[in-house]
Copies of this chain bind each other. A is one copy, B any other.
Amino acid sequence: MRVLFQYNWQVRDEWFQWCEQLAEVELLRPRTGGVGSILETLFHIVDVEQAWISGLQGKPEYHHRFEEYASLEAVKQLSDRCRPDVERFVTNWSPELEKKKFLEFYYGEVMRHVIAHEIHHIGQLSIWSRELGLKPVTANLIRRGLV
């Protein structure tokens, strides 16, 4: 579980770096598919992760509003701010939690949903990157020293 979350965080941070080569107008430009723009996709990934992991910790569900984070720096800061709490939960994950119920879901199902959610949206960014004529961040999980 931990490896796939760490993979996602590493890849996400590389996308934040990748974004630095683009003007904010490009990052915010509406695009076809996904949640609409490069920056809103990254924001959405961060927001969905924190919301589910908060939920699993018994905290009330809270969603950030993109309007309040509509710059690269703000989304990066939100990501950095949310990560320690998620990281603590992931680090303390144990197999007994797999079948614990959260609403109508199992904890194990929610964790994998969060993992797949980010990888899926990152795949979308890779297409937009090529449409912009830019090399996307590598999606390879090997050669990252994660295991």
Contact = CB atoms under 8 A, between A and B. Distances in A.
A120 B126 contact: yes
> Shortest 9 CB-CB distances between A and B: which pairs?
A123-B123, A33-B130, A33-B127, A113-B141, A109-B147, A119-B119, A120-B123, A120-B139, A127-B127
Decide if the interface of chain A is mainly helix, strand, loop or mixed: helix
A32 B105 CA distance: 37
Contacts of A4: 112, 115-116
Which of A98, A109, A116: most chain B Cβ within 10 A?
Answer: A116
Interface of A: 3-4, 7, 32-34, 98-99, 105-106, 108-110, 112-113, 115-117, 119-124, 126-131, 136, 139-142, 146-147
